[in-house]
Structure 1
Amino acid sequence: MRNGIISWIGVLCLTESVIMSAIFDLQLPAVVLHMIGIGLTVAAILLDGIEEARKREERRQRKHRRYYQGDDMDDAG
């Protein structure tokens, strides 16, 4: 959820920079907004990758625990 919000704010900054540049001819503020938008979008992508890696690791650990707990139960029985 948080990554989606960061991503949409980045997209809004990029859109606003295009509007400022094209319609109002404000180049410097448009460049600043454009850089902020790119930064927020990249941050959202990186956070998404980190979150996916964390979820994969949790799934791997759960699978590992289930596998070895199942073997322990067979040995005990």
Structure 2
Amino acid sequence: MENKIKDFGKIIVDAPKPTETKDVLKNHLSLLEQLANTTIRNLEDRINYLEIENQYLKQKIQELEAKQNEIRN
């Protein structure tokens, strides 16, 4: 029992102060925000690329359909 009391006291002494905890949390939130922003930018770039690719493929389909119609007539 005496060891448990010493261990509990050590935990209290070693625990970070509230201001330190707040600073750590702010740093973590800042890093998470940066990661989220980077991820969003990457996704936006990927979406833009896919939209351009989709537009190109639609154009190619129209060209092939036009050629197919020429062959049929």
| TM-score (normalised: structure 1) | 0.63
* Number of residue-to-residue matches in the alignment: 54
Q: Which runs of 5+ in 2 are unaligned?
A: 1-18
Residue of structure 2 aligned with 1:31, choices 23, 27, 31: 27
TM-score normalised to structure 2 length: 0.66
The alignment's C-alpha RMSD in Å is: 1.6
Question: Alignment partner for residue 56 of structure 1, among 52, 56, 62?
Answer: 52
The structure having more radius of gyration, on CA atoms, is 2
* Residues in 2 aligned to 1:67 and 1:49: alpha-carbon distance in whole angstroms: 27
Unaligned runs of 5+ in 1: 1-23
- Greater RCO, CA 8 A, separation 6+: 1
